[in-house]
Amino acid sequence: MEKSIRKRGGDSTHMLIRPRINTLLARALEKRVACVVAGAGCGKTTAVKAFLPQSGVRNSWLQLTGLDNHPTRFWEGFVNAMQTLDGGLAQRMKRQGFPGSLEKTNRFLHQLADVCYREEQLVIVFDDRHLVTSNEVRGFISNLIAANIENLFFILISRQWPELEGLKAYPSEESVYITQDVLRFTLAETEQYLLQRGLDAAAEYSKRVQDATEGWPLAVCLVSLYAGKKSEPADFLDSPVPLVADLMERETFGHYPEEVRRALIKLSLLESFTREIAIIAGGEAANQVVEALRINMFVAHNLYTGIYTLQHLFLNFLKGKQELLGKKEKKQFLADAARWYFEHGDIIEAVSYYVACEEYDAAWDVMRQYSSFDDSYGKALFFYRLIDKFPPDFLERNPMIRVFQTHLHIIFADIGQAHERFLQLEKEFESLPKGKEKNSLLGETYIGLAHTSIIQRSWAFADYYKKAVACLPEGSVLIDRDQIYVGTSNAVFLFSPEEGELDRILKLLLEVMPATTEMMGGCGFGMEQLAAAEVYYMRGDLGKATEHAIRAADKAAQKEQHDIYCNAYMILMRVQFLKGNYPEAKDYLERIRAYAEVHHNYICNSILELAEGWFYIKIGRHEKVAAWILDDALSDKIHAPIEINSEKLVKAEYMLENKKYHELLGMLAGMEEFFIARGQFFLCLRARVIKAICYYRAGDLKNAAAALEQAYDMAAGNGLSIWFVEQGNNMRALLQAMKREKYCKIPAEWMNSIQTKASTFAKRQLYLANEYKKETKGAENVTDSLSAREKEVLRDICQALTREEIADNHGISVNTVKSILRSIYNKLGAINRSDAVRIAMDLWLSNTNDHRVK
């Protein structure tokens, strides 16, 4: 056989330009999503990395690891990756945190859409998508894809054929799939690659390489490395030794000094690592380790984040050598890595590696410092699962961990089990010798029992809070000011409609909560004043509601209790609205907005948009209601289960005003059951008031009467009237029909009183709507900012025309249509086509004489 190869100068890169793969990826940019799904070593990442520079498209690349199953860790990486697209957006993302709510998801989507509309094309790459199993992170990625933002494209790289939720929103023609068979080198590509590596490959030798490797890109690459050093490399292809592992040993690992090899094996203990961690692993050979990482083709390095990751086959290769390290050596390195991550604020890595090296005391110390029970479901689940890895004897010696874990059940909405476990802990701790430890354990347990008692509608909550205060003179170690106490729910609660019940609960809250919130490090500071403001507001005593709301806001500001502060100002806004005072109502709404902009807190943004939703629905500007409140496509599965979402009631008001009666009745049935099961008395009352109106507007007077009677029975004993009054003309008309037809058994005196107040509210509502129109008159209307062509195209998409049909209709190119659509979305503040259609329909922009929306 003639000499098959000879060395010659060639391209030093190991990435092969593959036109057929690039064509498939380019097709994805004409659609929406490319899924590159294949096993390890098939060149998935390499193919995409070779394509992107050729495409000229701006891109953001996120290399995922197993640690990205924690939302906070994922978000940090995603923020860093987004820096390559827009630094301003990345900074806003960093301040706002992981979108753990519908509001935050929607806010981020709008911010991202704004960036996308200013660029030609943007691509986000999620590499190693298969490593993410967290519902929260998967849900976010799915929602991001399903948002269908114009000009934004995705490449998902995965080793498995996953159930990609985000693609369910797309027909098959909206995505491109590149599989393992497609990624394998053809004979021509094998020959071309060998030539690119500086090897002159004869056809026969290329065929032998192709047959031996079956076109597996990684194997072809390793063969090329070996072939360049042998006079007769063809003999190697006949070797029975497993090709890839043997070549890794010969061509990479085996060339390093012993100290570097041991450092690489240590680094394989981690999911990913930084340069500083590599230096720790290298010790005296640190410089050599860093250089080895720099030139190793199996090591990926994100230049922006500084994070290193090992290619999966190389990682598995190194893991197979971990037995060469002693147990003490492994534990010491993991502990050093955990300590470094803790010092640099990377809590997930710190706790994970402390547990991995069995330093449970250190893991618990870190966990306890970050144990405030906010509504982060992912954080709670991470801690819960990590505690399950603690040995039983350690848990026995540290009983506070079991209290901490039981508190997590509340976040999971597993209230019954949480309450029972707290009772068991109480019994256990009461038998302990007197002392500080006993008091601390009992105090934290009493806090848990108080919380579960409230949810289970038990008066015992007050006694438990008093016991907790007595046991914890120095304050709680598990709950602090960073916890959200009220959120978007009511500060006051009610266990039954019995007469005087609300006064008894409010009296207890005013008595118990000041000391309780001090004991909890300021968590909930001012909530008893907010509860009082809510009670007086619900009874229509606007003066006292104002007085207590101002007190609540003042107290909340002292301890940065954002939810209480914003809720207090929302009450002040609604009070002024009921009084017909437009400037004051608008001013309080603006104050909430200004506060949210300063603090960049997701709960502030949630309350702001709920307040805006209520305000704009009442003045007839439905198009200004936040999309996340109305759009069920933005799945609420990423919420912590314990969260009660008041946006459901805002959405119900929206649907009522838009006369979607039958849809609303279906939704209300499920809402009532949900609120009753969670003990949410006031939300259930509001739902029943809306249901009564809905039945009346649908022509079903008997069911309207039944629903109204249910609402009356819930409200009358405690003087609750505002939810009826705020329905304005709808309530006035309903009560008029009830009195005329004599369907209701409700006292006429009560109906007359509510009817009068509702009529007054309706007049003020109309006045405020007119004031808003006067204020905005002369300002540029969003519709006025659209050009004539943009209005025509908007009407076309309202009629469900495709881009191609729109282009044909107006005699323009599809690319021109895309450009017009981007401009429309940008001007309307829409994130996609369906959002633009919704806004257009609310503005009646689509209802022209010749273009009516069906």
pLDDT tens digits, one per residue of 295-331: 887 788 876 678 898 877 788 889 999 999 999 999 9
Contacts 24+ apart (CB under 8 A), 789-793: 789/820, 790/820, 790/823, 790/824, 790/827, 791/845, 793/817, 793/820, 793/821, 793/824
| Pick from 357-366, 530-539, 828-837: least confident | 828-837
d(CA 719, CA 500): 9
Q: How many CA atoms lie within 13 A of 353 on its CB side?
A: 28
| Pick from 99-108, 309-318, 371-380: least confident | 371-380
Per-range mean pLDDT, top range of 219-228, 490-499, 549-558, 784-793 = 549-558
Q: 22 Cβ partners below 8 Å, 6+ apart?
A: 50, 51, 54, 55
Q: What pLDDT sits at residue 775?
A: 81
In 10 A of CB 329, how many CB atoms?
13
H or E element that contains 118: none
Supply the mean pLDDT for the chain: 83
Q: What pLDDT sits at residue 777?
A: 65
Q: What pLDDT sits at residue 15?
A: 64
d(CA 251, CA 688): 73
d(CA 88, CA 703): 53
**Beta strands at 308-310 and 299-301: parallel, antiparallel or unpaired:** antiparallel
pLDDT in tens, 508-526: 999 999 999 999 999 999 9
pLDDT mean over 170-193: 77
Q: What pLDDT sits at residue 228?
A: 57
Q: What pLDDT sits at residue 853?
A: 36
Q: What pLDDT sits at residue 263?
A: 95
Residue found by looking up tokens 């890794």 in the block:
248
HEC assignment per residue over 704-728:
HHHHHHHHHHHHHHHCCCHHHHCCH
For 354: left if phi > 0, alpha if psi spans -120 to 50, otherwise beta; the answer is alpha
pLDDT in tens, 189-201: 888 888 877 776 6
Q: What pLDDT sits at residue 117?
A: 77
Better-predicted residue by pLDDT, 817 or 118: 817
d(CA 822, CA 113): 9
Q: 322 Cβ partners below 8 Å, 6+ apart?
A: 265, 268, 269, 330
Better-predicted residue by pLDDT, 496 or 304: 496
Better-predicted residue by pLDDT, 539 or 213: 539
| CA 788 from centre of chain | 38
Q: 97 Cβ partners below 8 Å, 6+ apart?
A: 72, 75, 104, 602
| Pick from 78-92, 219-233, 500-514, 659-673: least confident | 219-233
**Beta strands at 122-127 and 58-63: parallel, antiparallel or unpaired:** parallel
pLDDT band at 2 (very low <50, low <70, confident <90, very high): very low
CA distances from 848 to 789, 791, 794, 827 (A): 15, 11, 12, 20
Is pTM beyond 0.85? Reply is: no
pLDDT band at 851 (very low <50, low <70, confident <90, very high): very low
| Pick from 525-529, 665-669, 726-730, 762-766: least confident | 665-669
pLDDT in tens, 643-671: 446 778 888 999 999 899 999 998 888 77
pLDDT in tens, 33-63: 888 888 777 888 888 988 988 888 888 999 8
Q: What is the largest CA-CA distance in the chain?
A: 109
Q: What pLDDT sits at residue 168?
A: 44
CB of 207 closer than 8 Å to CB of 183? no
For 268: left if phi > 0, alpha if psi spans -120 to 50, otherwise beta; the answer is alpha
